[in-house]
Structures are given as structure tokens and as C-alpha cells.
Amino acid sequence: MSHWLQIVVATPAHSAIAGPLTYRSALLLRPGTLVRVPFGRREVLGVVWQVLPDSGGMPEASIRDIAGVLDGLAPLSSTWRRLVAFTAGYYQRSLGEVALAALPPQLRDLTTLQLTRRLKRTVVDTSHPQDTTDLIALSAQQACAIAEFDAETSEKQRPALLFGATGSGKTEVYLRAAAKVLEQDPEAQVLVMVPEINLTPQLQARFEARFAHLGRERVVPMHSGLTPAQRLKGWLAAHSGQARLVLGTRMAVFASMPNLRLLVVDEEHDPSYKQQEGARYSARDLAVYRARLETRDREHPHGACRVLLGSATPSLESWQATIVGRYQRLNMNERIGASPAGQPGGLPTVRRVDMNHQPKHCVIAPPLLAAIGERVARGEQSMIFLNRRGYAPVLACHDCDWKSDCPHCSAYRVFHKIDRTLRCHHCGFTERVPRACPSCGNIDIAPVGRGTERLEEHLAELLANVTRPDGGPVRIARIDADSTRLKGSLESQLASVHAGEVDVLVGTQMIAKGHDFRHITLVAAINTDSALFSSDFRAPERLFSLLMQAAGRAGRDAQRSAASEMWVQTFHPDHPLFEALKRHDYPDFAEQQLAERQAAGLSPFGFSALIRADAKTQEVAQGFLNAAAEAAQTQQLPGHAHVMAYPAVPMTIQRVANIERAQMLVESPSRKALQGFLAAWQPLLFETRRQAEFKSLVRWAIDVDPIAI
């Protein structure tokens, strides 16, 4: 007897195959079962999505048989499938693309026989549980936050936003919330998400120590930095329920966890939670949606699946949700062991340096340089933050105005002095630095502007006469994407900072988030003004968040917090953003920004999508978008009366790797209207793509709820 199955496979992006395909099986398989099926000339992994009563009118001879079943794996849950289906629909991608991308790469390549062998090697932990680590005493605010989170009535069970200052002990709240869930239900699972891979190891060590009593391999990581074998091992542990706690980056939101009871999203404001390739999903938003699905789809003996978002500078969307009551807000505005002599809550004093009154062309203001010298002399550490890696943004000839532009992109190649190269940070094109100007032959070509590499060198010159308490010279270290390329280099450099072997740490935003540097008492931000006047409406929010996070690296040791400082160099010291930063007043900053956004109909009061097109020429890219928008207007698609499509424009970096890029902004005051319009627009985009004049179009993509415009 034959059974007819709808099976989801990974289809090429923008192919006409968006949904499941029909296959035949001699066995009746449950939805969620993983199978191997023929697809074209290949055999690929598929997920059984639905069992059909018949062939659906298709000629039986044209329906192919499945190639095999991945025995030994329980089917993916209905909740997981609903999450995938929602993601594909909301973010306007194919079902198969999202479903298969959510599975570990090695699983997609294994045959049924290989998987059987792999499962036999899986060792189930039978070790004797270890003793629980001693719990630290909670602060009054931590205890209050935990009590309020637990007291949320079962009728509401709203998402909770833990609004906690840097150093206030948010991680301990996460640990306590997770511990309670795991103690209440011996099968319960917890998912904890962090924005950056480099934050995972230190957090993993802390969670493993706290939950060592559960046994080995109960806390597993899940991020793209793992090897394929490690990712598969972690996924299998989560899918089987063996892993009680999964710690991962945005991809972990799709982890198959059949007994998920708590989702924690640390630093929920971070842009890293938004995927920028393929299905451009927001892992934070999907975490909130998944918790709702988990609660709705099955009855938990100990209550609903909760979601706990945490940040010192929440996204304005989450903050507005607490204002209108959709989210519960938990406040922790004081650092652990805050000194009453310092700023309110033990936070560092913010000092604004008006660069209009400093020597012309100076990079480090004299007062700031003196403050750094004083810290070095006292045996304390300083951190200098500049969000631009490399030695200099551009190499230039002042005779003929030649600049080190990239031949493949509308951007400059960055000068990296350490290996004497010009490197494009967009397409990767790299060349050795020329001996003379390629245009006029002038040998006097010079760097313009500063990156972290040049800043490190400049600081060494400025601090040459400063000595440490032991009489030794100043030790300066740099941490950015260039200095941490080799495996293990980031960990070793961070260890040097923690051990006190570094006096001045220079780096990009990599060092501004999440790290617990106990000996840093001064943080300085260089070149902060560019975001103040950006065309991207989210730029001030990102700048304020980054500066607040950077400030949070200073004075984390309670004995030093009273003397900790955050220095900000700016030509606009009276800007409202810096006024709010000086007071560590996120609510005031949020109130200003929300008022501006409401007046302009921007998120969270309006909804938007970006349609991006890549082509050989800018004319084709823009022409495709404008033609598709005109077709949508002509056909009066659903929701068109409440949707505004602006004319196509070049992207900020309009050419990358010899591909021209354009974008079109689509806005609506109604999320429902926008979603209906985008869904109906997809077929028109396909039709427009097939027109002769757009043959050179390379690709197009829809970005729903974009974080950068």
C-alpha cells in the first residue's frame, strides 16, 4: 500500500518551488519525520510536513518514492514546524529554505546508515551527579526581579524584560530562573541566547559550573563557530532531551527542544539577533513567538513557557511593549556592591570632551591622555573604544588625490600596516601596499584617518614616558577582528586582560559588550559623532546602546567603582544623546526617540520592509524594483491602500564585488496590511524578474522589519 506525503526540502532561493513536494512511501510516516528523498539528480534531506489522503490529482507515475527514513530520530514536533512555517511566511522566504537551514549541516548530508552509526556512538551520561555550586547572595533588586518574574499570573504569562544596568547581576537572575524551571520538571529544557559567539565560552563555563549536578553534557553550545560534528552532537542532545540547557546565538532559536520551558535572550537589543542573509529573521522576536507557541500547543504541568529578555539598553520596540503593558518590566538599576560614593547605582562618571576646544587634529585629548596616564601609574586598566579596525580607513596621495578605492566596490580599501596590505572589508579584495601612487608615481602616499591599529601605535608614542607601578613600560593590547583571526587568539588575549597583563586595551565593539573586566576603571570612546546625523533612523539608538555598554566595562569591581569614568570625545557635547548618557538615563533617551518615531510613523509605531535588488548595473537594479512596484499599484494588491512604496534608490555601499545594489522602502501603519501586500507581491516580483530587460538581475530579497535603512 502506498502513502502520499508532503515533504519539505531545501529549494533554491527564489525558485518557483516554495512549498512541500509530494512523494510516495510504503510506510505511513508521522509529520516531522526526517527522510532522504530524490530531488533532481541528487538525494537530499527532507522533513515530512503532512500526510495526504491521496495523490492530489497528480499522475502516480510522476510521483517519486522516498529513498529512506532517518531511523532513530523522533519526529520534529508540531510546535517546531509551526515556528518554521511562521518564519517562512512572515519573512517572505520558502518553507524548505527555512526548515532545512534550521537543521545542522552534517545532518543534511548524512545517509540513513551513517546516522545510525552516529547515534550508536552517542554516549548517554550515566555519571553520578556532582554537588551544586554554592549560591551567591542576591542583592535586594535581584531578589525582587526574580519574585516579580515568578509572580506573573498564569492568565497573562507575559514576556518579561529585565531592564538591568551593566554589572547589576542579570546573569544571576537568568541562572536562578533556569534553576527553578529545571528543578520543577525533570524533563524541562531551557534555551539561553547571546548575541556574539565570543560571549558564549565565558557564559557556558558559568552555566556548566552552576548546573554541574545535572551531569556531564547537559549544557550544550549551539553556534556557527562549532565544527559540523560538534553542531550535530549538540543538536542531537537537544532533540533527544538529553541536553537540559542550550546556550547559543541567534540560530539556536530553531533548536529542536521538545520540552522547552524557558527562553532567555541576553542583550536583547543587539543587532546580531537579526539575520542578514537568506531568511532575514529576528531571533529575539521569534523567541517571543516560540514561547507563545510552546504554551499554546501543549499543557505544561508546571505552567507556561516563559521568555525573559535582558538588557541595560533595551530595543525601543521592547521598551514600548512594557509601556503599553504587553511585556512585564523588571528593574535593576544598581550594580552589585555599588559604592555610595560613586554615581547613582555605582555606574561610572561620564565626562564629555568638547573637541572644539582641543588642539587641532588631536586624536586623544590632553585631559583624557593625562587621565589614562594616572590610571596606568596606579596599576589600573583603561579601555579605548574605536569602532573602526585596520590602521587607517584610506591611503591617499595628496598630489593627485588618488585614494585606495576598491576596484570592485564603491568603498575604500582599508590600510592594514601590520601586513602592509590594502584590504576591502566588503568583498575581501586584498593587495600589497604600492611603493608609489598608482596614478602619478608620487612616493609620498599617506594614511588618512585612524583605525584601531593606528590608534594602538599612536597611544604607544603618547604614553612612552609613562611607567607602571613596577617601573616597567605601558603594555598596550588591541582586540578586533584582525587581531583575533587565529583560533584561540581571542581567548588568550582576553585572559591577558583579566590577568592584569594589559594596561591599555584598544578595540572595536568586540570589547564593548558583555565582558567582565574587573580592573578597568576608565573607558574612552573616540570618534562618536558620525551616528548623530545618520540617515538611518536607528543610528542614535545603536550609538547610545554601544556607549552605555562600553561604559559598563568600567568599575565592575565594587572597590573601584567610585573612581570609574567614561570619557566621550565629541564635537557636539550638548547633543541630547550625550546629556542622557551623562545621567545613565535610558528612559529619558527612549522617551525622546519614541516621540520622534511616533511623529514619523516609524517602528514600533509603523512597520516596514526593504526590497533589495542586485544587478550588473544600477539602472537594472532600480528598474526592476520600480517596475514591480508599478505592477503592484496597477493590480491593486491586498493592503495597497495602506502601504507606501518609495522609489528605488542605491544602497549606501551601492557596489560590492562588481554587483550594483539598490533598495526600495515599503511602509505601512498596519502590520497585517504590509504582510498581505508582501505575500501578494511575491508572484509579481517573479513575473517582473522574467522580463527581458531584467535578465542581468542577479538576485532580489525582501527584508521584513529591517534594522538598518
Is 429 among the domain residues? yes
Position 424 confidence tier, pLDDT thresholds 50, 70, 90: very high
- Looking at residue 562, its pLDDT comes to 63
CA-to-CA separations, 692 to 254, 382, 620, in angstroms, rounded: 39, 60, 11
Query: Which residue, of 332, 355, 370, is where some domain finishes?
Result: 332
Position 341 confidence tier, pLDDT thresholds 50, 70, 90: very low
pLDDT, one tens digit per residue, over 519-538 is 899 999 988 887 888 888 99
pLDDT, one tens digit per residue, over 430-488 is 999 999 999 999 988 988 887 888 889 999 999 999 999 999 999 999 988 878 777 77
3-state secondary structure of 539: helix
Looking at the fold, whether 302 and 368 belong to one and the same domain comes out as no
If one counts every other C-beta atom within 10 angstroms of the C-beta of residue 421, the result is 16
What is the 8-class DSSP label of residue 257?
Answer: -
Give me the sign of the Cα torsion angle 570, 574, 578, 583. Answer: positive
Number of domains in the chain: 5
What torsion, rounded to 10 degrees, do the Cα atoms 178, 182, 188, 189 define?
40
Is 125 among the domain residues? no
Mean pLDDT check: name the lowest of 202-211, 262-271, 432-441, 499-508: 202-211
- Looking at residue 14, its pLDDT comes to 61
Is 709 among the domain residues? no
- Looking at residue 553, its pLDDT comes to 82
Looking at the fold, whether 215 and 320 belong to one and the same domain comes out as yes
Residue 645 has pLDDT above 60, yes or no: yes
H or E segment to which residue 629 belongs: helix 618-635
Looking at the fold, whether 151 and 275 belong to one and the same domain comes out as yes
Domain range for 577 is: 344-389+451-599
Position 560 confidence tier, pLDDT thresholds 50, 70, 90: low
Looking at the fold, whether 614 and 655 belong to one and the same domain comes out as yes
Mean pLDDT check: name the lowest of 311-325, 359-373, 502-516, 669-683: 502-516
Average pLDDT value for residue range 417-421: 87
CA-to-CA separations, 15 to 12, 86, 704, in angstroms, rounded: 6, 19, 19
Looking at the fold, whether 488 and 592 belong to one and the same domain comes out as yes
Looking at the fold, whether 437 and 562 belong to one and the same domain comes out as no
Looking at the fold, whether 170 and 317 belong to one and the same domain comes out as yes
Is 553 among the domain residues? yes
305, three cell numbers? 513557557
Average pLDDT value for residue range 509-524: 81
If one counts every other C-beta atom within 10 angstroms of the C-beta of residue 40, the result is 7
- Looking at residue 514, its pLDDT comes to 66
284, three cell numbers? 529575539
- Looking at residue 126, its pLDDT comes to 44
What is the 8-class DSSP label of residue 274?
Answer: B
Which is higher by pLDDT, 422 or 340?
422
Which is higher by pLDDT, 274 or 386?
274
Please state, rounded to an integer, the average pLDDT across all residues of the chain.
89
Average pLDDT value for residue range 486-515: 83
Q: Is 305 annotated as a binding residue?
A: no
Looking at the fold, whether 223 and 239 belong to one and the same domain comes out as yes
**DSSP per position, 77-146:** PHHHHHHHHHHHHHTT--HHHHHHHTS-HHHHH--HHHHHHHHHTPPPP-PPPPPPPPPPPPPHHHHHHH
> 176-192 burial by CB neighbour count: b if 16+ within 10 A, else e?
bbbbbbbeeeeebbbbb
Give me the sign of the Cα torsion angle 412, 413, 415, 416. Answer: positive
Looking at the fold, whether 311 and 245 belong to one and the same domain comes out as yes
Q: Is 144 annotated as a binding residue?
A: no
Which is higher by pLDDT, 533 or 48?
48
455, three cell numbers? 590608534
Is 337 among the domain residues? no
Q: What is the CATH number of the domain that holds 260?
A: 3.40.50.300
Position 556 confidence tier, pLDDT thresholds 50, 70, 90: low
Q: What percent of the chain has pLDDT over 90?
A: 63
Query: Which residue, of 549, 568, 599, is where some domain finishes?
Result: 599
- Looking at residue 12, its pLDDT comes to 67
What torsion, rounded to 10 degrees, do the Cα atoms 451, 452, 458, 459 define?
150
Is 135 among the domain residues? no
Between vectors from CA 430 to CA 426 and to CA 435, what angle results, nearest 5°?
Answer: 135
Looking at the fold, whether 521 and 469 belong to one and the same domain comes out as yes
Is 131 among the domain residues? no
Mean pLDDT check: name the lowest of 56-60, 393-397, 574-578: 56-60
3-state secondary structure of 674: helix
Looking at the fold, whether 456 and 428 belong to one and the same domain comes out as no
Residue 579 has pLDDT above 80, yes or no: yes
Q: Is 400 annotated as a binding residue?
A: yes
Looking at the fold, whether 556 and 648 belong to one and the same domain comes out as no
pLDDT, one tens digit per residue, over 205-217 is 888 889 988 877 7
Nearest to residue 623, comparing CAs of 650, 658, 653? Answer: 650
H or E segment to which residue 650 belongs: strand 649-656
Beta-bridge mates of residue 666:
609, 645
- Looking at residue 128, its pLDDT comes to 45
Position 78 confidence tier, pLDDT thresholds 50, 70, 90: very high
Query: Which residue, of 544, 569, 599, is where some domain finishes?
Result: 599
If one counts every other C-beta atom within 10 angstroms of the C-beta of residue 268, the result is 27
397, three cell numbers? 596621495
Q: What is the CATH number of the domain that holds 79?
A: 3.40.1440.60
What torsion, rounded to 10 degrees, do the Cα atoms 541, 545, 547, 553 define?
180
For 604, residues 6+ apart whose C-beta sits below 8 A from its C-beta are 316, 317, 320, 321, 594, 597
